[in-house]
Amino acid sequence: MSEVGPDSEVFEVNRIKSLIKLMRENDLNEIDLKHGERRIRLRKGDLAAPMIVGGPAYAPAPYAPGHYAAPPAPTAVPAVQAAAATPAADEDANAQVIKSPMVGTFYSKPNPEAKTYVQVGDQVTAETIVCQIEAMKMFSEIPAGISGTIKAVLVKNQEAVDVNKPLFRIV
Let me know whether 102 and 141 are in one domain: yes
Rounded to two decimals, the pTM is 0.48
- By residue range, what is the domain housing residue 119? 79-170
Per-residue pLDDT of the chain (171 residues; tens, 9 = 90+): 444 554 456 567 777 778 788 878 877 777 777 777 777 777 775 443 444 444 444 444 444 444 444 455 555 545 444 444 445 555 567 889 999 999 999 999 999 899 999 999 999 999 999 999 998 888 899 999 999 999 999 999 999 999 999 999 999
Q: What CATH number does the domain containing 90 carry?
A: 2.40.50.100
* Structural domain count of the chain: 2
Q: Look at residue 65 and tell me if it is in a domain.
A: no
pLDDT of residue 68: 44
Q: Is 23 inside a domain boundary?
A: yes
| Cα angle 107, 109, 115; round to 5 | 155
Which of 137, 151, 159, 158 is closest to 87 using CA atoms? Answer: 151
74 located within any domain: no
Give the model's pLDDT for residue 23: 78
In a shared domain, residues 54 and 86:
no
